[in-house]
């Protein structure tokens, strides 16, 4: 999951939907046992337990006839189902008995059925309006975050990345994860670089996406490649392969970033075969990421040549990194990362 999730707060039961009450009461006002001078009267409007996707559990549910709201905080359509298993919202009619919407998703996500609900995970996600799951305070595909410039630029970058098959798969898996991954584009300090922090599951972009325009110029495309690279480190963590800094993890991330750019902007993303003395490495790198089948021999060779031949290590940044794993199960899972057009 990208960013944090909080249930909406609705303090007034007569005007707003309420959540589940953890006890059963009769349909009447109940006096709370406080000292006489402090006695108050509380009215309980709803006590409902649900199966996954929102069908009521009959033996464990009760609701006042005056209370209009049901599962997912939406208004019940009692003329369609008198038991309250059908709700309506701005963008859908939702039938909890079959866990389906009547209409196609107005904001479809590639790789997910247009009739699917809650990203197929009703335990984690909430969909208030019937068009996109709700996460407060963050950025994700298919829902709104705070409309700050950082949030807008991050969301636009995600949308472009998901135009590639590999990018879409990685982002969708992270969105559906039980883990929480945060994307932060704030520039925390001068001179800092984009990086993934495995301790906090945070992709710190440090202003990388500031100034993004239309993703048609060199600077925007390079920012997209760097964003894809750092997001892939989060994906390595999700796949159980991101706990150690290594050359293999860096080669994977560079390969993924290049693959996203080639898939969206071909031939952007390729290393220049004639670049200085790195022609041998660049040809091997391009051959690896454009292969239609994973080649473990080439992956091992890429790691061995990375320190001495890659343009990414001309300043010696990775000289102290260990080689890491002998095969890339993460990239194998994504191959071909650049499908044939």
Query: Is residue 206 pLDDT above 80, yes or no?
Result: yes
Query: Is residue 24 pLDDT above 70, yes or no?
Result: no
Query: Is residue 12 pLDDT above 50, yes or no?
Result: no
- What pLDDT is attached to residue 136? 43
- Average pLDDT for residues 300-329, to the nearest whole number? 87
CA 79, distance to chain mean position in Å, is: 36
- What pLDDT is attached to residue 204? 86
> Which pTM value belongs to this model?
0.59
Mean pLDDT of the chain: 79
DSSP per residue over 72-106, as a string?
GGPEE-TTT-TTS-EEEETTEEEETTTTEESS--S
State the DSSP code for 125. Answer: -
Beta-ladder partners of 50? 56
Q: Residue 204 phi/psi, 5° resolution?
A: -90, 110
- What pLDDT is attached to residue 1? 46
- Per residue in 267-314, pLDDT (tens digit) is 888 888 877 668 889 999 999 999 999 999 999 999 999 988 888 888
CA distance 172 to 24: 39
> What percentage of the chain has pLDDT greater than the value 90?
32
Helical pair 247-265 and 218-238, crossing angle rounded to 10 deg? 130
For residues 146 and 137, the answer to whether their CB atoms sit within 8 Å is yes
Query: Is residue 140 pLDDT above 70, yes or no?
Result: no
């Amino acid at each position: 999951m990208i960013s944090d999730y909080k249930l909406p707060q609705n303090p007034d039961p007569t005007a707003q939907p309420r959540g589940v009450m953890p006890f059963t009461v009769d349909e009447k006002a109940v006096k709370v046992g406080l000292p006489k001078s402090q006695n108050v009267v509380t009215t309980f409007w709803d006590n409902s337990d649900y199966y996954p996707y929102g069908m009521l559990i009959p033996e464990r549910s009760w609701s006042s006839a005056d209370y209009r709201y049901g599962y997912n905080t939406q208004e019940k359509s009692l003329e369609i189902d008198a038991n309250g298993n059908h709700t309506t919202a701005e963008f859908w009619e939702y039938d909890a008995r079959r866990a389906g919407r009547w209409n196609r998703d107005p904001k479809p996500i590639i790789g997910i059925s247009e009739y699917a609900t809650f990203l197929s995970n009703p335990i984690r996600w909430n969909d208030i309006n019937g068009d996109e799951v709700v996460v407060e305070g963050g950025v994700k595909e298919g829902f709104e975050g705070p409309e700050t410039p950082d949030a807008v630029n991050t969301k636009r970058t995600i949308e472009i990345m998901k135009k590639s098959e590999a990018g879409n798969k990685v982002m969708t898996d992270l969105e559906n994860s039980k883990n929480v991954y945060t994307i932060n584009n704030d520039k925390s300090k001068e001179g800092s670089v984009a990086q993934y922090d495995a301790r906090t599951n945070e992709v710190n972009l440090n202003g990388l996406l500031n100034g993004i325009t239309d993703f048609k110029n060199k600077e925007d495309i390079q920012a997209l490649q760097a964003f894809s690279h750092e997001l892939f480190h989060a994906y390595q963590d999700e796949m159980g392969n991101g706990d150690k800094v290594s050359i293999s993890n860096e080669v994977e991330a560079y390969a993924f970033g290049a693959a996203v750019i080639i898939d969206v902007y071909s031939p952007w993303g390729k290393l220049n075969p004639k670049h200085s003395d790195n022609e041998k490495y660049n040809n091997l790198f391009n051959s690896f990421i454009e292969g239609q089948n994973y080649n473990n021999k080439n992956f091992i060779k890429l790691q061995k040549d990375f320190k001495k031949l890659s343009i990414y290590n001309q300043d010696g940044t990775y000289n102290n990194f260990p080689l890491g794993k002998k095969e890339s199960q993460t990239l194998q899972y994504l191959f071909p990362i650049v499908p044939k057009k």
